[in-house]
């Protein structure tokens, strides 16, 4: 009997404002948007940041592949970085599509605030066409923030968390596992902190706000409505969440800064990774409850290569390994490496590689983290690596 499988894809992981700085290319510059497909085929979209445009483009490229009759879009709150992709989401301009939106009733707008927010951001003089240009069928449901309900066979729970002007966190329970999406939260409110812990309890994937460093959160950024890796790890440990995804990266945090935050987090919690644009998380796959990999689009400009290398890293069993091997499909941002060992997902590898140069063979020393590890036809493990140094 086949195990139920669910898939979570990150289309935008940046907070506050999108970035195009080359220093943020590896983790990505689009603002929050995730796509979650449950085992029964129900499709969820979490937030409508600029990553939503990329999701819409992917749907258009995959046509005429069958898609669910209805897509359920959950909006955590109404700040610009979480809604600014909506006018550019092409499927909303296709009449046969059907979308159901969910969020809370804003105290500043009152009844029907969810619809009002979308209409207002496309009103004159902010956008060339108004909300009526979207011909898809649309429904709007305002949540109280303390309720649970079912969509298909999936239980959805919404809870208020701590962010200026309000915010919801979401928990989706499926036969393949539990994901929790709780971005834009600042610790310190006892009631709302309790809500967050209830959401995260026992989650397989806990996507948590990690925009600030612990020092920033304790000082100049206090009151801005965000959290740190340290808070996310602490909550995961307290409530038994299995895997933490650091999310909502600060627009001023380069890839190297995020790498540093990830290293700090891993000193306190083994199963933590930094969310990357294009990363896919698989829940419920046989033998491995959580798998993560990056599709080829994020390691573009790849070319065939067969370079000798020595790789040092940490295996899935927690033991350090040192292995001679071959690097294949080398790219500017990553490579495919065949290993006899099975490295831990999101662990760091050190790679010493021999490459030809004008003066003979040259040694290159690089570091990277594992984003994919799958059995290959050669009886080895095919390991996808994204370079950090």
CA angle, residues 322, 269, 207, in degrees to nearest 5: 115
How far apart, in Å, are the Cα atoms of 361 and each of 255, 311, 327, 337? 30, 18, 15, 20
Q: Which two tokens stand for residue 239?
A: 């409530």
Q: Using 50, 70 and 90 to split pLDDT, how confident is the model at 338?
A: confident
**CATH 2.40.10.220 intervals, the chain:** 296-387
In the chain, ranges of CATH 3.60.15.10 domains: 6-293
> Residues, the chain, total?
389
Tell me the C-alpha distance between 257 and 154, whole Å: 36
Residue 290 has pLDDT above 80, yes or no: no
CA angle at 112 for the pair 110 and 116, rounded to the nearest 5° = 95
CATH level 2 (architecture), domain 296-387: Beta Barrel (2.40)
Give the pLDDT score at 301: 36
Point out the least confidently predicted range of 57-66, 92-101, 228-237.
Answer: 57-66
Q: Is-cis flag, bond preceding 64, omega within 30? A: yes
Torsion, Cα 105 111 115 119, to 10 degrees, reads -120
pLDDT given for residue 292 in this prediction: 59
Strand duo 244-247 + 272-274: pairing = parallel
- CA-nearest of 275, 274, 198 to 239 is 198
Of the pLDDT bands very low, low, confident and very high (cuts 50, 70, 90), residue 220 is confident
How is domain 6-293 classified at the architecture level of CATH? 4-Layer Sandwich (3.60)
- The torsion angles phi and psi of 238, rounded to 5 degrees, stand at -70, -35
Which tokens is 282 given?
């698989």
Q: For 232-268, how does the pLDDT look when each residue is reduced to its tens digit (9 = 90+)?
A: 999 999 999 999 999 999 999 998 899 899 989 999 9
b/e map 261-282, b = 16+ CB within 10 Å: bbebbbeebebbbbbbbbbbbb
What's the confidence (pLDDT) of residue 365? Answer: 87
Q: What is the pLDDT of residues 138-196, one digit of tens each?
A: 999 999 888 999 999 999 999 999 999 999 999 999 999 999 999 999 999 999 999 99
Output the pTM of the full model.
Answer: 0.80
């Amino acid at each position: 009997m086949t195990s139920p499988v669910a898939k979570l894809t990150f289309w935008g992981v940046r907070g506050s404002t999108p970035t195009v700085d080359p220093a943020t290319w590896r983790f990505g510059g689009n603002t929050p948007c995730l796509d979650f497909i449950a085992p029964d085929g129900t499709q969820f979209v979490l937030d409508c940041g600029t990553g939503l445009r990329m999701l819409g483009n992917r749907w258009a490229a995959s046509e005429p592949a069958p898609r669910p009759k209805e897509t359920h879009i959950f909006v955590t709150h109404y700040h610009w970085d979480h809604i600014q992709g909506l006018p550019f989401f092409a499927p909303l301009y296709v009449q046969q599509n059907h979308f159901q939106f969910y969020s809370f009733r804003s105290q500043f707008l009152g009844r029907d605030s969810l619809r009002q927010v979308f209409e207002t951001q496309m009103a004159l003089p902010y956008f060339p066409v108004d909300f009526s240009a979207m011909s898809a069928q649309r429904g709007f449901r305002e949540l109280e923030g303390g309720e649970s309900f079912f969509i298909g066979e999936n239980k959805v729970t919404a809870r208020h968390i701590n962010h200026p002007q309000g915010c919801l966190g979401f928990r989706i329970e499926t036969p393949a596992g539990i994901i929790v999406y709780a971005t834009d939260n600042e610790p310190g409110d006892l009631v709302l902190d309790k809500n967050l812990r209830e959401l995260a309890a026992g989650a397989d994937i806990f996507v948590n706000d990690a925009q600030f460093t612990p020092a920033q959160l304790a000082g100049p950024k206090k009151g801005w409505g965000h959290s740190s890796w340290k808070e996310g790890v602490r909550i995961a440990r307290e409530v038994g969440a299995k895997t933490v995804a650091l999310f909502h990266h600060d627009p001023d945090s380069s890839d190297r800064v995020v790498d540093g935050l990830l290293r700090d987090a891993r000193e306190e919690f083994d199963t933590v990774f930094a969310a990357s644009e294009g990363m896919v998380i698989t829940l419920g796959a046989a033998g491995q409850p959580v798998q993560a990999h990056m599709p080829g689009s994020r390691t573009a400009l790849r070319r065939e290569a067969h370079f000798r290398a020595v790789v040092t890293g940490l295996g899935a069993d927690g033991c350090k390994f040192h292995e001679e091997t071959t690097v294949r499909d080398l790219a500017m941002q990553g490579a495919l490496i065949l290993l006899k060992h099975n490295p831990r997902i999101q662990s760091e590898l050190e790679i010493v590689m021999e490459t030809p140069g004008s003066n003979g063979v040259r040694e290159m020393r690089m570091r990277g983290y594992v984003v994919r590890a799958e059995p290959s036809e050669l009886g080895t493990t095919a390991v996808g690596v994204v370079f950090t140094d």
